[in-house]
């Protein structure tokens, strides 16, 4: 069974015109999953994350800054050149992070085997002290920290196939050997981190792809480097930062993936999770900025999670 976590509040985060990270992204995802083939999905409203759960990843000053920066209705508040907040952003961010925590509880509690968090704002660029790259709180990092603290897991893996490196996730866990972070991403590209020589305590594995790389290079990187590291780590829980902006149609990068590549990598990760983690997977939406490509890629990802 697959459980889907989302919340209407995630549609109310509106950075304003000109931002690629728009409410239309989540509408496209939800519409893509509103078909008979997905009727068996258990759909659940995401709860709010608690302050204690956020504090495992973010410092108090950052949390307070986000929570107190709510602009007036119709206005926006600029946090950095890429990241803005609207009146609905705080509630959206609390629900987006809360989705991952609730999903971890569900898969570790045996309620479901796989979960997909259809939420925004995304999270993997947010560091302990800084919102950046469209991200306010680091949703996947908060979920991983919850798995360690509340469930006592010893090995949690995060697989990130967003076209941009998850700098916030890496920074959170690069000195935490209980968490392995593996990432495929275009290089060079924003945010300028994720070189292959960045290893943390041996728990960070970055795989870079040159502009123009496509299916062959992507699959070879995962088969030869990233999946073997995950396999050797033997995670008890697998988290996925599911960004779909490496698609050939995406306007923010220059990789050439298609929806079949997202089905393929999801199938590989499902197989690995069944081998080591009793099948337990929590996936959370990150990037993807061409609406048609985002919809088709998400559909392929979720279909693979259901099988």
Strand-pair partners of 159? 182, 240
In sequence order, the 6+-apart residues with CB closer than 8 A to the CB of 10 are 26, 46, 92, 95, 96, 118, 119, 120, 121
Integer CA distances (angstroms), 264 to 82, 171, 210, in order: 31, 28, 20
Strand pairing of 156-160 and 237-242?
A: parallel
Q: Is 204 helix (H, G, I), strand (E, B) or coil?
A: strand
Backbone angles phi and psi of 268, in degrees to 5 = -65, -40
Tokens of 45: 């409203």
Catalytic: 125?
yes
Contact 249, 292 (CB under 8 A): yes
In sequence order, the 6+-apart residues with CB closer than 8 A to the CB of 67 are 90
Q: Which of 13, 58, 62, 125 is catalytic?
A: 125
Question: What gap in Å lies between CA 57 and CA 137, rounded to an integer?
Answer: 9
Contact 134, 125 (CB under 8 A): yes
Known catalytic residues are 125
């Amino acid at each position: 069974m697959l459980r889907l976590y989302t919340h209407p509040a995630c549609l109310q985060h509106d950075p304003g015109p000109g931002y690629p990270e728009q409410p239309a992204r989540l509408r496209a995802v939800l519409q893509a999953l509103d078909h008979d083939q997905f009727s068996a999905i258990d759909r659940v409203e995401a709860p709010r994350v608690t302050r204690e759960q956020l504090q495992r990843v973010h410092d108090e000053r950052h949390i307070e800054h986000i929570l107190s920066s709510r602009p007036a209705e119709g206005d926006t508040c600029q946090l950095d050149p890429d990241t803005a907040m609207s009146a609905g952003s705080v509630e959206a961010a609390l629900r987006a992070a809360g989705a991952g925590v609730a999903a971890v509880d569900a898969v570790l509690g045996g309620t479901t085997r796989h979960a997909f968090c259809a939420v925004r704002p995304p999270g993997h660029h947010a560091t302990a002290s800084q919102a950046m790259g469209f991200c306010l709180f680091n949703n996947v990092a908060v979920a991983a920290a919850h798995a360690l603290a509340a469930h006592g897991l010893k090995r949690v893996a995060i697989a990130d196939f967003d076209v941009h490196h998850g700098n916030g996730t890496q920074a959170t866990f690069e000195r935490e050997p209980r968490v392995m972070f593996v990432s495929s991403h275009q290089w060079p590209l924003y945010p300028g981190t994720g070189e292959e020589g960045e290893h943390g305590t041996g728990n960070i594995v970055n795989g870079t792809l040159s502009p123009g790389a496509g299916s062959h290079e992507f699959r070879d990187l995962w088969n030869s480097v990233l999946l073997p590291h995950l396999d050797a780590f033997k995670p008890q829980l697998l988290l996925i930062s599911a960004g779909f902006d490496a698609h050939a149609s995406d306007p923010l990068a220059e990789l050439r993936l298609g929806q079949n590549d997202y089905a393929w990598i999801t199938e590989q990760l499902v197989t690995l999770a069944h081998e080591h983690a009793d099948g337990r997977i929590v996936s959370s939406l990150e990037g993807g900025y061409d609406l048609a490509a985002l919809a088709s890629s998400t559909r392929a990802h979720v279909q693979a999670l259901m099988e």
